[in-house]
Amino acid sequence: MKDTRKLRALTLIVGASTLALTSFAPQAHAQDYPSKTIEVVTHAGNGGGTDVTTRMMMLRGRRELGADMVVVNKGGGGGAVAMDYYLTQPADGHSILTFTIGHAATLAKNETKMKLEDVRPIARGTDDPQILMVKCGAYADAAEFVAKQKEEAIIYGTTHLGNIDDVSAFMFTKKGDMKTPKILPFDGGGELATQLVAGAVDVAVLNLAEAGSQIDSGDVCPIVVLADQRMPALPDVSTAKEMGIPVSFSTVRGFVVHKDTPDDVAAKIEEALVKSMNHGVYQGFLVSVGLDSSSVAGSEEWGNQLQTMVTDMSAALKELGFIE
């Protein structure tokens, strides 16, 4: 009888101790975070826009988090390889995924095992509007540019198929009641800008930094910005919405972690990354690519944009016949 009582008492003590340890485990984990090198997973190759954005964030991110940070490049499949790889990593905050508009398209096309619900937003690093650019002198203004396309289809140059660039071109012409464009893809923005000047295409879908040198030389002129508001770097260039064409697409780059990452760890990462990207070093980088401080946003704004981005991309790809 006495042995039975002792066994019950011991069981209660062990159970209570286990419960206490379980209850305090997340706090202890967050208090110790980070405890090792942090990997930042990206699909972009060395020197690409996403790779550069990631590395610029990390310059101050290391200092804010007090740990080394390294880039892990997992290219292929429009981001699918990086996304699938990320799902195999522990949800402890020591692995962060760089997430872009291309990932949203990959999610919409079900080309990855990942679902948007598998990750939680941390912070946005860039919000870089898509810009329609033409050879300087080709059109008097944006109105003439649109009017011409109501009469005949023109050639759009892009750097993707079934992704943000050609979706931007198709949706702009579709919503603007213009002729369906002919799409000619290129390997990268630099080559596309060069071919635009050479006359291989009539219009190029680019970000500001991709044609910076050609714009500065007066060879390429931005004619319509696909954004809700005019860009500070292009105050004289109209948005599609100003022209009555409800189209807005941006090349966004930000950071997410596993959905099961402890709340306090995620909060610590968010605070550190937002602070690092509000530092003068990163802000200088934004200015150099024609952007400003509004690109940086925390988890709430970034999370809302992620939801909208995936929904809009899915609707656009379905409307254009890329997915059923």
**pLDDT tens readout for residues 212-247:** 889 999 999 999 999 888 998 899 999 999 999 999
Q: Which are the contacts of 124, defined by CB distance < 8 A and separation ≥ 6?
A: 252, 253, 254, 255, 295, 296, 297, 301, 302, 305
When pLDDT is averaged across residues 49-64 and rounded to a whole number, the result is: 93
Spatial separation of the C-alpha atoms in residues 237 and 133, rounded to whole Å: 11
**Whole-number CA gyration radius for the chain:** 24
Spatial separation of the C-alpha atoms in residues 134 and 152, rounded to whole Å: 16
**What six digits make up the tokens of 304?**
């809302």
Percentages of the chain per state (helix, strand, coil), in multiples of 5: 50, 20, 30
Work out the angle at residue 253's Cα, subtended by the Cα atoms of residues 247 and 257, and round it to the nearest 5 degrees: 125
* Chain center to CA of 319: 22
State the pTM of this model.
0.79
| Residue position matching structure tokens 């209850």 | 23
Q: Which fold has domain 129-243?
A: D-Maltodextrin-Binding Protein; domain 2 (3.40.190)
With bands split at pLDDT 50, 70 and 90, how would you rate the model's confidence at 11?
A: very low
Does domain 31-127+251-319 fall under CATH 3.40.190.150? My reply is: yes
Residue 301 near residue 124 (C-beta atoms within 8 A): yes
- pLDDT at residue 25 above 50? no
Closest CA to 126 of 254, 256, 307: 254
Closest CA to 249 of 131, 161, 141, 135: 131
- pLDDT at residue 301 above 50? yes
Beta bridge partners of 40: 71, 96
Identical fold at 31-127+251-319 and 129-243?
yes
Spatial separation of the C-alpha atoms in residues 231 and 37, rounded to whole Å: 37
With bands split at pLDDT 50, 70 and 90, how would you rate the model's confidence at 78?
A: confident
Spatial separation of the C-alpha atoms in residues 10 and 218, rounded to whole Å: 82
Q: Would you list the domain boundaries of the chain?
A: 31-127+251-319, 129-243
Work out the angle at residue 153's Cα, subtended by the Cα atoms of residues 149 and 156, and round it to the nearest 5 degrees: 95
Tens-place pLDDT, residues 122-144: 999 999 999 999 999 999 999 99
pLDDT at 87: 97
**What six digits make up the tokens of 252?**
């966004």
With bands split at pLDDT 50, 70 and 90, how would you rate the model's confidence at 9?
A: very low
